[in-house]
């Protein structure tokens, strides 16, 4: 008995996201995705009109899962502990084999000249949701100007990811956490 339409749809999304994550959007073809999902290219196009639509759907699914995980994250009441936990998660993520940076950031960089691409809107929405989550945590820890501090922490996190990827050294996350805590102490 074959897969249901929903199962095939999920399989395609998982295959596409895995390939996009490892190789990048531009280097993955619809043939690659169909092969990875174990379906024909024709069946793939019955689920997704284009590679652009598929990328947007894969990123939307990933964002939903990531935001759900954030919702389960125990936010310490102390701002310094929140920052330490936030960056410790980044270090743990970067320690995984094959880590290649933040998928949403990588997608937007890869699509920098395609301003209207649907994946860019999804990445923007995802990053805004993470920033809002962080701002809520900082506000709960009584940090002044929590939204501004959350934006600064996001900048430090993005910079840490880029430098960890460039240098292959997770110490940049520790340095970013130290800088974030200094920002919060000064506010």
Residues 173 and 99 in one domain: yes
Consecutive H or E run containing 94: helix 79-94
Q: Which domain holds residue 33?
A: 1-48
Sequence-distant (6+) residues with CB within 8 A of 47 are 5, 8, 9, 12, 54
**pLDDT tens digits, residue range 118-128?**
999 999 999 99
Residues 37 and 63 in one domain: no
Sequence-distant (6+) residues with CB within 8 A of 20 are 28, 55, 58, 103, 107
Residues 11 and 89 in one domain: no
Q: What pLDDT shows up at residue 115?
A: 87
Residues 139 and 127 in one domain: yes
* pTM score: 0.88
Residues 133 and 64 in one domain: yes
Q: What pLDDT shows up at residue 143?
A: 96
Residues 97 and 114 in one domain: yes
Low-confidence ranges of the chain (pLDDT < 70): 1-2
Q: What pLDDT shows up at residue 1?
A: 52
| Cα gap 87→176, rounded to integer Å | 8
* CATH at 135: 1.10.357.10
Structural domain total, the chain: 2
**pLDDT tens digits, residue range 92-134?**
999 998 888 888 898 899 888 988 999 999 999 999 999 999 9
């Amino acid at each position: 008995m074959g897969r249901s339409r929903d199962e095939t749809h999920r399989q395609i999304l998982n295959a596409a996201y895995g390939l996009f994550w490892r190789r990048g959007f531009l280097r993955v073809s619809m043939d690659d995705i169909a092969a990875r999902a174990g379906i024909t290219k024709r069946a793939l196009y019955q689920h997704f009109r284009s590679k652009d639509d598929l990328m947007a759907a894969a990123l939307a699914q990933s964002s939903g899962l990531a935001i759900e995980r954030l919702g389960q994250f125990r936010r310490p009441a102390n701002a310094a502990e929140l920052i330490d936990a936030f960056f410790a998660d980044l270090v743990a993520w970067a320690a995984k084999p094959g880590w290649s940076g933040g998928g949403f950031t990588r997608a937007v960089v890869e699509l920098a000249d395609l301003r209207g691409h649907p994946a860019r809107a999804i990445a923007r929405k995802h990053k805004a949701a993470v920033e809002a989550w962080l701002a809520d945590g900082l506000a709960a820890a009584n940090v002044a100007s929590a939204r501004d501090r959350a934006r600064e922490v996001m900048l430090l996190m993005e910079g840490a990811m880029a430098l960890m990827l460039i240098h292959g050294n997770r110490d940049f996350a520790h340095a970013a956490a130290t800088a974030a805590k200094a920002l919060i102490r000064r506010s």
